[in-house]
Amino acid sequence: MWQVLYLPDAETERQKLPAGERAALDHAVAKLQQIGPNLGSPHSSAVRGMHRNLRELRPRQGRCPFRAIYARVDDVFVIGAICPEAVKDSRGFERGCDDAARRLADLEESGGGNRS
């Protein structure tokens, strides 16, 4: 089983989700724990653009309006942000990716490990 951790700000964002969306996200995280890096579409996909080292976890096979933005740090998947999905709110998605990238960089600077 793979370990999945939330950075503190991402956990705060998770707590703000409506209960049904939070449950869907938790279910997607459980899939990531079971399948790890082999979890593919439609449950997970690479973030395009500047943040190619990030992935988006897509609850409800992409039908959920929220995404968890994560990266692999050593042998742990670290969720750096929860944000709206790109089609409904492209600016919110981009902001979430920027937040996740910054938070994950801060983690690495503090000795959190190297991304694989």
How crowded is residue 104: how many other Cβ atoms within 10 Å of its Cβ?
Answer: 25
Give the whole-angstrom CA distance, residue 77 versus residue 55. 10
The alpha carbons of the chain give a radius of gyration, in whole angstroms, of 13
pLDDT in tens, 59-84: 999 999 999 999 999 899 999 999 99
Average pLDDT, integer, range 87-101? 95
Q: What is the pLDDT of residues 24-60, one digit of tens each?
A: 999 999 999 999 999 999 999 999 877 778 999 999 9
Residue 14 located in a structural domain: yes
Based on the structure, what is the number of domains in the chain? 1
Please report, for the domain that includes residue 82, its CATH number: 3.30.2310.20
Domain assignment present for residue 115? The answer is: no
Confidence band for 8, pLDDT divided at 50, 70 and 90: very high
